[in-house]
Structure 1
Amino acid sequence: MWDSESDSTVGREYGNGVLNSSKQEVKNDGFERRDQSWHVTTDIPSDLLVQVGEVSFYLHKYPLLSRSGRINRTIYESKEIELKRVKLDDLPGGPDAFELAAKFCYGVPVDLTPANISSLRCAAEYLEMTEDLEEGNLIFKTEAFLSYVVLSSWRDSILVLKNCEQLSPWAENLQIVRRCSESIAWKACANPRGIKWAYTGKPTNVSSPKWSENKETSPSRNQPVPPDWWFEDVTILRIDHFVRVVTAIKVKGMRFELIGAAIMQYATKWLPGLVKEGAGENGNNKDNSWKGGTLHMIVAGSKEDLPSIQMKEQRMIVESLISIIPPQKDSVSCSFLLRLLRMASMLKVAPALVTELEKRVGMQFEQANLADLLIPAYNKSETLYDVDLVQRILEHFLVQEQTEPSSPRRQSFSDKHGYEGSPRHSSHNAKMRVARLVDSYLTEVSRDRNLSLTKFQVLAETLPETARTCDDGLYRAIDSYLKAHPMLSEHERKRLCRVMDCQKLSIDACMHAAQNERLPLRVVVQVLFSEQVKINNAIANNALKDSGESHYHPVIPTRKTLLEGTPQSFQEGWAMAKKDINTLKFELESVKATYLQLQTDMENLQRQMEKMTKQKQTSAWSSGWKKLSKLTKMSSMESHESGLQEPVLLQAEQVRKPRRWRNSIS
């Protein structure tokens, strides 16, 4: 192998010695530039004009025809008898590359360097400067320099790959990109003991990493080579070439956490605003070391919001980075994934990649912090924050926990790098951390008046009940939602409070809830009752400890004793609640009295109706009997006349008896 000093020396000797041509058909003293044209200083006038872009080259046919198959074919296949002008607008490398190729054709010494070798190799391929025309032609020379000089040097491989960005697709088709990427990957994965640590991106007086085959050579007396020594160099590459390098490094078997750290550093450099200073809940997250700029709250993506790189380029960068993140958990931090997800939502990245990124966040959701979770809604939603996105991430987290319930959890990103406050936890503790995070998120987004009650309730109830040992955070979120939505009906407020378990509230939360006028009265009563039960149990436990008895049955204290052991604020809350209860009882008694009065009035009306009905029936019966009495009198008179008085009297008596019976019936 060569170190950086020997690389440049070999390149200069190789260029000045081998590229000198002894077969100069046209005597020349060199090339000179006049405005936008190049002229050969010879005694023979030029007979061919080569136009490359806006630059004109006044040359001679024979030196070019002897070494360039393309120009040779262009001239001889032309319909013009004397072709004096050739246009090469699509030549890779442009006028600079053609200048070097023309000098080579004239036998002028050409210095091959990492800065010009890629463009000159592509230009030689374009001009078809092969061995069929002349031995040792330009294709052979440049290919040898690439293989034996460039690919042996770390710095030269990086610079050549960087210069290939303007040579697509020629550099890709000539395998320059592939060979440089594999060379970089091989050196990045090699044992760093043979490297003297230095960066390519540093000033020119600082050499690049030096490679030595001698194992006795010490890497550096001042400081050892860190494992991420290659990060800064590869981040200067364009995204497609960076992907090629990272893919080759993966094949070599590098540790996934180093690959993830390189991806994060690349994103910091090429995605301004992705990472902010002071990231993390406690401010001691490693994310603080990536300072790519200030994070702005972008509500709608536009070109004005992206001053450094166009949206299309940033979308391509985000999509490429998502596709090369190692599949292992904790290869990158959750904070980085969430910020990348924010940009993906803003830039309208492909839905499949967004879903993949959401799953990755769900795998390590317990490491997230609230600031990164507040992702604005870029899809023209009514809400300020994308609550649906957090809901999907939470569902991915629960699915991940269910699929791997018994597997040991890997060490988190912060554990591996020695950060505080992130020890290894069990699955249950991870759910508890996520529950606290979700409660904090609900408290923050509940201030949005456009947040519907259904979305709030669904997000709060997604986690199982066992995930929350205390519902104080959920109570704060509910109270914040009630403040921001004062027009909720009684039914909606009760529905909102159902997501909370009153028995899981602390004493401070119960004291606050007892005086909270926004809560439904039923919830206040439940809070007071649960707190009374807690006080009873506490008194019983204290009495048990004082007495030292093993079998103690606590006696329910009197109301006076209970109130004496209750805080004053709690007593005031209980008094207010009791006053409200008494008011409701009084109103209920009033309603009952009104109901009884109405029932009495109804019974009176029914009696009057019955009397009226009875009178009508009585008048009908009396008129009928009057007619019957007339007939009886007439018959009695006739009987008297005929001497039949006794039978008539008997008949009259028989008639009167059913009358008395009917009257009694009526």
Structure 2
Amino acid sequence: MKKGFQFAGYDKATIGTITLDCQSPYGEKRNRCALLPPNVPILAHSLERTQRNWIARSNSPTDIIIQVGDSSFHLHKLAIASRSEYLNRLVFQRGSNREKAGDSLIIQMKNLPGGKKTFELVVKFCYGRKIDITAANIVPLYCAAHFLEMSEDVEEGNLISKTESFLTFLILSSWKDTFRILKSSESISPWAKDLHIVKRCSEAIAWKLCTNPNASSFTCESETPLSNNSVDNWWFEDVSCLRIDHFIEVIQSIRKRGTKPELVGSCIEHWTRKWFSQVTFGLDKETPIPITLQLHRISTECLISILPSEENSVTCNFLLHLIKAGVMLKINSELLCVLERRVALMLEKCRVPDLLVKNQGDKDSLYDVSVVLRVLRFYVCGMSSNQSAKPHSVGRLVDGYLTQVARDENLTMESFKSLVEALPQKARHCDDNLYRAIDMYLKAHPNLAEEDRTDACRVLEYHRLSHEARQHVMQNDRLPLKLTTEFVLLEQVNMATSMTSNGSNYRRTNAQTIIRVNKDMEKRQITNAQEISMMKKDVEMIKSQLLEVYSCKMKLQNQLKRCIR
């Protein structure tokens, strides 16, 4: 089923007819235009194609050969030069790109937008034959018309005005056709940008997106009712199919329209994950390694430059992935620093899954801890100057992250130790979670040498662990012997100190009791010598116990000093 449509303000014979084809793979009506020029100086009976040659058959012989790429078009000067100012100059002016072949003039035409396929449409138009235009070929034809200078000044109803009308119609009426136009512009990008095609498409996408949350319903017949179930990110997949330069144009237009920053950030993340999942960082067999790396480097830098600056507009995990890609591709150091600062400011509100950035290689560790380490160092540098910093929140986050990555058998000792030592001691209330992560690492790496195990446990301190954690340390055979011995001795000293403290309290309590008793005895005039003698014996016994405890304490301290030496 096809319906005709006539442009407002134009005669059907001048512009042509637009038909809507319902059999579209995109699930919408596809726009198609048939152009019929009003005035034709020479009619061709047929346009024959033999191998790479096109020959226009008419009552008069051909007198010009135009070479486009590897194809030759045998045409008539009057038919071509009457509609193209560019070809008119080449035909009637001498130039280096024209030759003679018998009675025919040979012109070599280079850099024509769209190449020979587009020129075939131009030739048909000049000879009065009907040409079908769609969203897939309108841009090359429009650019070729400008290249050939086929304007209204040369001939009324010329190709520039006709293609301009249909191009405007497509951009304003159809959501899908706008993306088809952008896709077809990639092969002739300089012309598409100079003629503002990319800009017009980008602004049309932004306008439809902001004025109609279900902009995909735009058709050339009418607007369908808005869907109540439309989702904010329905347009991500269409936009993510665009090339990086066109994507940036669209994002900038969308931001100018006031789209929510978090929605823009999510769209950038969607595009990046789609395209960078195909990034091989030089392993692509079809593209030379330096070209691949350079393109990916430029793309990464462009993405960073268009990220919304608003808080929570992009996720921490996405920024860490960008840092990882930036380090691998050696992007601009200032842009890399911007990302690191941004993630550092988000750490206090992050969760452990936000920090997990996977590696791709089989021999690498499961997660890229070097990216997190870069951000942690940046955070520590700015922590001293930030009055509102909450290091304990970051301490809990890092301990949880350490527990997660410690299970990885491929995580090196150097990487794990660097993470453990990344934060200062004041960033943790206690070291229980840190001890748990270290114990998990030792469990996952049972073949570590005694020296490496000692190095991993160097940060653990007796007084920074809870009683339950200390008891676990003293019974943990995965820890180095020196550490467990040290904790056992310190536990004994702690017990002795506790007993001494309790003894002093007991002595003070008994002395106070004696004073109170003496006062009562004086008041009551009690003179029982036997009771006084018993109390003296109790005092002497307490003194003797205190001396023994003190002597035990001194022996334990001497043993501890010898062990440490």
Q: TM-score, normalised by structure 2?
A: 0.71
CA contact (8 A) 1:70 1:128 kept: yes
CA contact (8 A) 1:15 1:111 kept: no
Q: Deviations over 1:96-131 (max 9, x none)?
A: 211111222222233332222211111011111123
1:209–1:472: structure 2 CA closer, same or farther, 3 Å change rule? Answer: farther
Gaps of 5+ in 1: 199-207, 275-297, 408-426, 542-557, 559-577, 589-666
From 516, 519, 525, the counterpart of 2:486: 525
CA contact (8 A) 1:446 1:484 kept: no
1:154 matched residue in structure 2: 175
From 486, 490, 508, the counterpart of 2:449: 486
From 218, 222, 235, the counterpart of 2:225: 218
2:322 matched residue in structure 1: 340
Mapped pair 1:231 → 2:236: yes
1:570 matched residue in structure 2: none
Deviation at 1:351, TM superposition (A): 3.1
Q: Deviations over 1:603-643 (max 9, x none)?
A: xxxxxxxxxxxxxxxxxxxxxxxxxxxxxxxxxxxxxxxxx
1:119 matched residue in structure 2: 140
Q: Deviations over 1:18-70 (max 9, x none)?
A: 94334322122343333222222323222111111122212111111111112
For 2:88, give the aligned amino acid.
N
2:351 matched residue in structure 1: 367
Deviation at 1:369, TM superposition (A): 2.7
CA contact (8 A) 1:443 1:478 kept: yes
Mapped pair 1:474 → 2:434: yes
Gaps of 5+ in 2: 19-33, 503-541, 543-551
* Match runs of 1:608-647 below 5 Å: none
1:662 matched residue in structure 2: none
Q: Deviations over 1:217-255 (max 9, x none)?
A: 7323xx522212221211121111001100111111110
For 1:90, give the aligned amino acid.
N
1:169 matched residue in structure 2: 190
Mapped pair 1:70 → 2:86: yes
Secondary structure of the structure 2 residue equivalent to 1:168: helix
* Match runs of 1:176-187 below 5 Å: 176-187=197-208
From 41, 44, 50, the counterpart of 1:25: 41
* Match runs of 1:650-661 below 5 Å: none
Q: Deviations over 1:149-190 (max 9, x none)?
A: 433432222211111111121111111111111111111122
- CA–CA separation in structure 1 for the residues paired with 2:330 and 2:142: 39
1:592 matched residue in structure 2: none
Mapped pair 1:255 → 2:222: no
CA contact (8 A) 1:448 1:484 kept: no
- CA–CA separation in structure 1 for the residues paired with 2:370 and 2:181: 46
* Match runs of 1:267-278 below 5 Å: 267-272=272-277
Q: Deviations over 1:6-26 (max 9, x none)?
A: 897759964349943343221
2:25 matched residue in structure 1: none
Secondary structure of the structure 2 residue equivalent to 1:51: strand
Deviation at 1:259, TM superposition (A): 0.7
2:159 matched residue in structure 1: 138
- CA–CA separation in structure 2 for the residues paired with 1:587 and 1:384: 42
CA contact (8 A) 1:443 1:476 kept: no
Q: Deviations over 1:336-380 (max 9, x none)?
A: 222333333333333333333323332333234387246589xxx
Deviation at 1:91, TM superposition (A): 0.5
2:394 matched residue in structure 1: 431
Secondary structure of the structure 2 residue equivalent to 1:463: coil
* Match runs of 1:527-606 below 5 Å: 529=490
Q: CA RMSD in A?
A: 4.5
Secondary structure of the structure 1 residue equivalent to 2:16: helix
CA contact (8 A) 1:471 1:505 kept: yes
1:396 matched residue in structure 2: 378
Secondary structure of the structure 1 residue equivalent to 2:37: coil
- CA–CA separation in structure 2 for the residues paired with 1:374 and 1:145: 48
CA contact (8 A) 2:489 2:560 kept: no
1:9–1:499: structure 2 CA closer, same or farther, 3 Å change rule? Answer: farther
* Match runs of 1:30-41 below 5 Å: 30-41=46-57
Secondary structure of the structure 2 residue equivalent to 1:362: helix
1:44 matched residue in structure 2: 60
Q: Deviations over 1:554-577 (max 9, x none)?
A: xxxx9xxxxxxxxxxxxxxxxxxx
Mapped pair 1:503 → 2:485: no
2:425 matched residue in structure 1: 465
Computing the radius of gyration from Cα coordinates, the structure with the larger value is 1
- CA–CA separation in structure 1 for the residues paired with 2:302 and 2:265: 13
- CA–CA separation in structure 1 for the residues paired with 2:149 and 2:206: 31
Mapped pair 1:88 → 2:109: yes
From 63, 73, 76, the counterpart of 1:57: 73
- CA–CA separation in structure 2 for the residues paired with 1:394 and 1:527: 34
Secondary structure of the structure 2 residue equivalent to 1:396: helix
- CA–CA separation in structure 2 for the residues paired with 1:445 and 1:429: 25
Mapped pair 1:319 → 2:301: yes
- CA–CA separation in structure 2 for the residues paired with 1:384 and 1:305: 29
Q: Deviations over 1:402-433 (max 9, x none)?
A: 666549xxxxxxxxxxxxxxxxxxx4663243
Structure 1 window deviating more from structure 2 (181-190 vs 496-505): it is 496-505
Q: Deviations over 1:513-564 (max 9, x none)?
A: 2134643536643466459859999xx99xxxxxxxxxxxxxxxx9xxxxxx
Identity %: 36
1:513 matched residue in structure 2: 473
Secondary structure of the structure 2 residue equivalent to 1:56: strand
Secondary structure of the structure 2 residue equivalent to 1:33: strand
Q: TM-score, normalised by structure 1?
A: 0.61
CA contact (8 A) 1:92 1:122 kept: yes
